[in-house]
Amino acid sequence: MQTELFLLIALLSAVVANPPSAHTTQFGLIKGAVVDATGSPIAKAKVFDEPMEAVRTGKDHFTLSDENGRFLLNDVPVGKTMVIATKIEDGYPDARFAVFSGNEILPVVDVKPDQVTSGVTVKLLVKGGTVAGRVTDARTKSAVPDARITLSRLDHPTWSIETNVEKDGSFRLVIPAMPMHFSIKAPGFGEWNYEQSVFSTNHSPMNLSPGSKLEIPIYLEPMS
Amino acid sequence: MRFLSPAPFRPLCVFFALLLLVLLPAQLAAAQSSPPVSKPPTPPPPPAATDQQQFLSYWTTETGWRTELQLRNNQVGQNLTVTPVFRTPDGTETPLLPILIQPQEVKAVDVATAIGNSAPQLIGTYGSVSLRYHTAGQAALYAVSMVMGVGHSIAFHIDATGEDDTETTGSREGIWWLPNGTANDYLVLANHGQSPLQLSLSFFDSGGKASIQNLTLPPRGMNRLSVRQLVAAAGLAGSYGGIKVSATTNAGSLNTLHVLFDQTAGFSAVMKMFYYDPRTQMKERDYAKTGQWTLRAPMLALSSPDPALAFPVGTILQPQLFVRNTTAKPINASLSFNWRSDTTSGKSPGPALQLNPYETRRIDVAALQDGKTLPRNAQWTSVILATSGLPDEVMAVAASYDQTLKYGAQTPFSDQLSHHWAGGQWQYDPYHNSIITAGNGGTKATQAAFTIFYNQGTQKYQLEQTLQPGQQMWMDLGKLIRESTPDKTGKTLPRDLASGSYEFRDLTNTGIGTLFEGKVIYDKTYGHVIYGCATCCGYNAAELYFNPIFVLLPGPPVDDGVWGWSVCDQQYEDVSTDFWDNWGSVNTSIVTFDSYGAHTGQSIGSTTTDTFGYLESTAHYPICPAKEFSPGGGANVGDPAQLLVIGDTTTNPTNCPNTKLRILAYQIQDANGNDVTTDVQTKEQFASKSSNTCNTTITTSETCGGTPGGIIHDSLTVGCNSVDNGCGYTYTKQQWVWCNGATNTVIGTVGDLVVHDNAISVGGSYTSIQGNVIKP
């Protein structure tokens, strides 16, 4: 009865959150649990279905794990789907992006129409480190809100992420504990590169340890 | 695998729909008078980390002594790096290597070993320690210095403190005690600041007769004195009395420590000194709102000690209290006891005290164990000392030793009640055991949660208990391990578990809790018991859920609430209940609110709302005074009218890493550019949709659904195609629509989406459109 209620509530809440619109697509459900690297259940993790034989565009589709780490994902397009869990606020890198998760083996589920695939265990990535800071104009000390951050892997340079900073030039990223190229560009400014900065030892790439926090104020030099 | 067709669900769904229909009117009617049921939104980014410093007043590596630093990372989910800087009495500093501590882990550092590796010149000396780290609040670190007499049953637990440059005038108040003719003592006076510290040092006999002298401490320096010698030189008689160390400038840099030891007898005691700050108000320290300043000592060992303490059979203790009036005025006080034997427990009133100015009074608790005030077979009691004075005007020390002084235990007095105690190290092995207690010092029942952390803080064991006023829960760690007692989830502690850390949380009271705590560790190596204190965890900031809050007109009420920044956990916690009934607004013609912070739009416009409440806060020494916080923020009433692009990210998806993924983040805004932060119903629509040459089926968001926080994350990708070479699709004239009932409203026309496996254009742009405002 408890399981039925859990399923029903999760199903209803997920439907309310983001109903599908492609009526011709068939859907199934995935039930499982989110754990960390030690196998301990993780509550309030976001669980995403990332279809491999279909495409989900538009708004994010996810559910949250309950206090025992359990989740139920509804409206999953049939076929093979990768199930990914993230909890950035607790220091786990976002596993939806290859630049952070490319070497990890993540569960792939073959979803059948109107069927629940249960017993899926989704591991969060190993905890990463947090890099945070604020991008400012070295001359005026004002924020550079159109700065773009690029992170890429040393072992797989084509896997990268390019993203924006906040309106006030600040940024906060949870990245895996592995060597990464880190650079920042903005129109009208010279490129800033971590490996060429005073924060790098011997021009080595950024390599944060799990749970660590690196705060770097970044000053971009105007080109004229 | 269980087959789940839609059919079996139908009756349940119908039932649920009917239930909603039945309940909905009642919920709407109650919306303005019931506590909110919605979950709080995502907390704001954490406050900026700043340089932090705590100080341990004493370490020594002199012959016959050993010092261990115990450092606990109180943070949730974040490592902590601490750099210890050792100071000598003249103020010279020597930094050692940084120490990395995992969340909830306690790391023990043997000072002689650490010094021997990098600063051997400090071997054989003594001084104080500065602990430096970088967090958004000082209490991320719990630190203790354990000073032990090598080969003796001597050990001192010394808590770390901070420095307060706003405290100019103040004093540290203590009690001296000469329990026999041979006990030595150290009175340590430490200056943690960068300026010289002028001090006035006063000693009093038990009747209040004083002897005063002045001295100066150098910047970062310290002085180690002998009270026995100073008392004798002053001509004060008796075996106990008072100590006052006062400063009229930079008092917030002063830290003191008073310890007794007798290597022959195998005796040691910490005579806890109290911080007196004349600025302190009663309301800051009356946690249980009784109107009386109240001190508690949670674990006084009575005459017949608990066998768990493993004293030799037949050991008889002599429990006693020293109570001191630190002021020039008479003060009344009363004692009461919550006692416990191995079979029962109870409460007893104790004697009333009229304390003369500067008087120190000794209370013989053993004599009260006469079967009338306290049962003869009671093993433990908590001692409650209620006073007519202001905070820290009365202070007290408890001690319970046998006649030889070799066997005994102490329990410190404290007024602190807290919602969260972060505890240090506990031990259990053939030579050690730990007994930990928490009690309810409030006037109503409360739910207490006790958590043990082990395996470097990665594993936890959780117990919960409802505590009535005055009731205590007791945890014998060895017993929990030996008897494989299951926790609330059925988990047991590993049989070979030897140490870890712990915490208590008051689950009933979030902002100002009512729990007090205590811990003793028995060490069989030489046969002694030492106490340890946890640190209370306050808040140093309070923020509204939304600033500004946005309310639709017409629309449902929006719940606002308050986040408190927990300086131990280093994360926001929901403290909304402590701010109920105190909401206010500058302009109630624009927005109104109920007692619980649910905001309702009245007319389109902007105003501000605020509330106030009391939370445990922080101080430079281990207390968490109740402080008023008054978070406020803007309040906007309007309708969704446009989109602001707040994020534009391009990457490779994990499921198909050879393709591109572009994620747009749109903030819904009203016509004035105010962020719509509530969950509104939205959908997307297109003028036309091409076929997908990547041969993958596309699911879109063309049906109305929620938009938490008013932010749309729109993910664009082609899926794991097998075609390659720039395959993809084009959807023209993407529009985002506010589903506001019968007439949906377009709030943003993004333009054409050209999505290919190697490049993605949005509204004609392959590059970032972050910062653009997208109109209907």
**CATH code at position B605:** 2.60.40
- Distance between CA atoms of residues B574 and B564, nearest Å: 6
Q: Considering its fold, how many domains does chain B have in total? A: 6
Please give the share of chain B, as a percent, with pLDDT higher than 70: 95
Of all residues in chain A, the one with the smallest CA distance to B570 is A90
Question: Would you say residue B215 lies in a domain?
Answer: yes
Give residues 433 to 462 of B whose Cβ lies within 8 Å of A: 458-459
Same domain, B575 and B621: yes
C-alpha distance from A219 to closest chain B C-alpha (Å): 18
- Say if residue B54's pLDDT is above 90: yes
For an interface test with B, give the residue of A59, A86, A101 to mutate (most B CBs within 10 A): A59
Question: Would you say residue B324 lies in a domain?
Answer: yes
Give residues 74 to 103 of B whose Cβ lies within 8 Å of A: 76-79, 81, 100, 102-103
pLDDT tens-digit profile of A150-202?
Answer: 999 999 999 999 999 998 999 999 999 999 999 999 999 999 999 999 899 88
Q: Among A19, A98, A145, select the one facing B705 at the smallest CB separation.
A: A19
Give residues 118 to 177 of A whose Cβ lies within 8 Å of B: 118, 127, 130, 145-146, 148, 158-164, 167, 170, 172
Mean pLDDT (chain B, rounded): 91
- Distance between CA atoms of residues B736 and B310, nearest Å: 73
Closest CA to A155 of A89, A90, A100, A208: A100
Domains of chain A: 2-123 (2.60.40.10), 129-220 (2.60.40.1120)
Half-sphere exposure of B51 (CA within 13 A, CB side): 5
Same domain, B366 and B395: yes
pLDDT tens-digit profile of B695-717?
Answer: 888 989 999 999 988 999 999 99
pLDDT tens-digit profile of B302-350?
Answer: 999 998 888 899 999 999 999 999 999 999 999 999 999 989 999 999 9
Same domain, B83 and B153: yes
- Say if residue B10's pLDDT is above 70: no
Is the CB of B646 inside 8 Å of chain A's CB atoms? yes
Amino acid at A72: L
Give residues 174 to 193 of A whose Cβ lies within 8 Å of B: none
Same domain, B403 and B295: yes
Burial class (CB in 10 A: 0-12, 13-18, 19+), B53: middle
Q: Among A50, A115, A213, select the one facing B654 at the smallest CB separation.
A: A50
Contacts of A167 in chain B (CB under 8 A): 646
**CATH assignment at residue B98:** 2.60.290.11
Question: Would you say residue B18 lies in a domain?
Answer: no
- Tell me the pLDDT band of B281, cut-offs 50, 70 and 90: very high
pTM: 0.81
- Say if residue B4's pLDDT is above 60: no
pLDDT tens-digit profile of B535-560?
Answer: 999 999 999 999 999 999 888 899 99
- Tell me the pLDDT band of B608, cut-offs 50, 70 and 90: very high
Domain boundary among the residues B264, B279, B294 is at B279
Same domain, B647 and B758: yes
Helix, strand and coil content of chain B, in percent to the nearest 5, comes to: 10, 50, 40
Domain containing B589 equals 539-638
A22–B16 CB contact, under 8 Å: no
- Average the pLDDT over B444-468 and give the result: 94
Cβ atoms of residues B482 and B496 within 8 Å: no
Same domain, B496 and B435: yes
Same domain, B628 and B657: no
Question: Would you say residue B397 lies in a domain?
Answer: yes
- Mean pLDDT by runs of 10 across the 224 residues of chain A is 39 40 72 91 94 88 92 93 93 94 87 95 94 95 95 93 94 94 96 94 92 90 91
Is the CB of B3 inside 8 Å of chain A's CB atoms? yes
Question: Would you say residue B38 lies in a domain?
Answer: no
- Distance between CA atoms of residues B417 and B626, nearest Å: 10
Provide the pLDDT for residue B723. 66
Question: Would you say residue B88 lies in a domain?
Answer: yes
Domain boundary among the residues B162, B188, B216 is at B162
C-alpha distance from A164 to closest chain B C-alpha (Å): 6
Same domain, B188 and B78: no
End-to-end CA distance of chain A: 70
Same domain, B181 and B114: no
Domain boundary among the residues B142, B162, B182 is at B162
Is the CB of B647 inside 8 Å of chain A's CB atoms? yes
Same domain, B303 and B403: yes
Please compute Rg for chain A using Cα positions: 20
Please report the number of interchain residue pairs, chain A to chain B, with beta-carbon separation below 8 angstroms: 188
Same domain, B317 and B263: no
C-alpha distance from A220 to closest chain B C-alpha (Å): 19
- Say if residue B18's pLDDT is above 50: no
DSSP letters, B561-615, are -EEEEETTTTEEEE-GGGGTT--EES-TTTEEE-TT-EEEE-SSEEEEEE--EEE
Element (H, E) at B144: strand B141-149
Amino acid at A202: N
Question: Would you say residue B22 lies in a domain?
Answer: no
Half-sphere exposure of A193 (CA within 13 A, CB side): 9
Question: Would you say residue B356 lies in a domain?
Answer: yes
B651–A97 CB contact, under 8 Å: yes
Contacts of B103 in chain A (CB under 8 A): 211
Is the CB of B479 inside 8 Å of chain A's CB atoms? no
Same domain, B770 and B654: yes
